[in-house]
Chains A and B, each alone.
Chain A
């Protein structure tokens, strides 16, 4: 980095905080209808945890979408694969993960998360080389081949692990709830929210404080110019796609443990949600993805409590409202 800093007397970039305030506004609007403070706190905590898990999965999608211009409908396959990796890692270590030791329990869980990241990252490398690389710049073909590949992966998972849902539980230390006043908050949700938050902070730091991050942000805007400046964008793309797959796998483990079951079609189901978040947030925007994920999850939780019949449509309604307000999403990325 440069020793030169002219920052103090110079104009700073303006930050658009309005979209980031919308989740707060939604919570404030929902509170009077929910009535009970404890229910409100429980629902909000559940929404934040769910939002962080969705963000973890969707942030990989927005990176691949935003930077590589790849419509990866196979992203769900990485989510399922990550969850299945956890079902392979956790059961053999059950003796360690069901103790009273928080450190041991967390260690086992972190091992499962790391295994999912590594396996999905490696699978992402193969997927990018075999499936994505031949169809760069061809959206229709991208949709066809990635949908096809996701079906193949899903069927392979069924063939390898069987058609039944596989039960999977968080370690003992993360089961149960603790009370915050009268509100019960599940420990695992707090853990999942912290992982999601760490992913967000990590991505933000990488994107804003490192040369790789600069390259990714520049590549989202203008791939050709990044190449003309001497950078191997193809290699960068492979790395980004691997990171995208790894994040999906990480999110898959978190979600599988949250639902306490894993099945091969879970990725496909979550993919719809991830796409909604990416579109609401703005293609290629990690900050937008974060805000969008929280918004989607909070509204789903509040709607599920207040008007269960509306819950299924709430995300679509949210997307319509956001796109009417900001057609390129909450935080549109320049050049997209």
Chain B
């Protein structure tokens, strides 16, 4: 199994707060690695640090053979990394089409690629010329993910894509993530919905207090109720 993304001893401060306190983990190539943990464990900070939006004070982050911990966000993105933030961060003053045009850095929007995306998110076709700000939360999430995959990328960093979404929309997202996985892209996915994690995840890394406290196969974690209760405070019965 080839390691695609690797973090070694990563520390990140936000102001005077020491958020990441030596994060070590690998994300294998072409697989979905779930980053789980309680609120405030440091999951979002980990994604933002990989993306260069917050600078690691110490530690190494490598993408393939390239060290990216000192790169600016734009340079990290140009290494083939796409980021879907928890806030979705769609450009609400721009239309759906303009949001995607901007995301297509390498040139014009590819028609085949768009049709592939519309297969998962037909709503985007319907609101093609509408302002992104007028979309519902679920539609914005679709746009945010579509923006990240409008061109092939090497690594997708996705932060809580199902947060606040209706079950029907979550189903479409799961289909999309599984289809993406089949394209061979590496995905690091922060998710609070354990059922979604079980359906799309290959590997799991659990964070607590700014450190990785558990690593393993997602299927093993899904079968281990004691582990879920101990590390995630989860009871699957409480998450229908």
Contact = CB atoms under 8 A, between A and B. Distances in A.
A221 B91 contact: yes
Contacts of B102: 211, 214-215, 218, 226, 229
B108 A10 contact: no
- The size class of the interface chain A forms with chain B is 20 to 34
B203 to A, nearest CB: 24
B129 A7 contact: yes
Among the interface residues B85, B126, B128, which one has the most CB atoms of the partner chain A within 10 A?
A: B128
Contacts of B128: 6-7, 10
B109 A2 contact: yes
Among the interface residues B114, B129, B131, which one has the most CB atoms of the partner chain A within 10 A?
A: B129
Interface in A1-33: 1-4, 6-7, 10-13
Contacts of B228: none
Contacts of B127: 10-11
A233 B53 CA distance: 13
B101 A228 contact: no
A224 to B, nearest CB: 6
A16 to B, nearest CB: 11
Contacts of B93: 217, 220-221, 333-335
Interface in A218-254: 218, 220-222, 224-233
Given A7-B129, A333-B93, A334-B133, A224 B109 contact: no
B224 interface: no
Contacts of A333: 93
Interface in A291-317: none
Given A13-B95, A13-B130, A6 B125 contact: yes
A228 B114 contact: no
A10 B103 contact: no
- The size class of the interface chain B forms with chain A is 35 or more
B129 A224 contact: no
Contacts of B111: 2-4
B73 A227 contact: yes
Given A11-B127, A11-B130, A335-B93, A228 B53 contact: yes
B91 A222 contact: yes
Interface in B69-125: 72-74, 76-78, 82-83, 85, 89, 91-95, 97-98, 101-103, 105, 108-109, 111, 114, 125
Among the interface residues B51, B73, B109, which one has the most CB atoms of the partner chain A within 10 A?
A: B73
Contacts of B133: 334
A109 B76 CA distance: 47
A1 B98 CA distance: 10
A214 B100 CA distance: 11
Contact of A228 (B83, B92, B98): B83
A225 B91 contact: yes
Nearest to B132: A334
21 contacts: A1-B108, A6-B128, A7-B128, A7-B129, A10-B129, A12-B129, A218-B91, A218-B102, A221-B93, A222-B89, A222-B91, A225-B91, A227-B74, A229-B77, A229-B102, A230-B74, A231-B74, A232-B74, A334-B93, A334-B133, A335-B93
Interface of B: 51, 53, 72-74, 76-78, 82-83, 85, 89, 91-95, 97-98, 101-103, 105, 108-109, 111, 114, 125-131, 133-134, 147
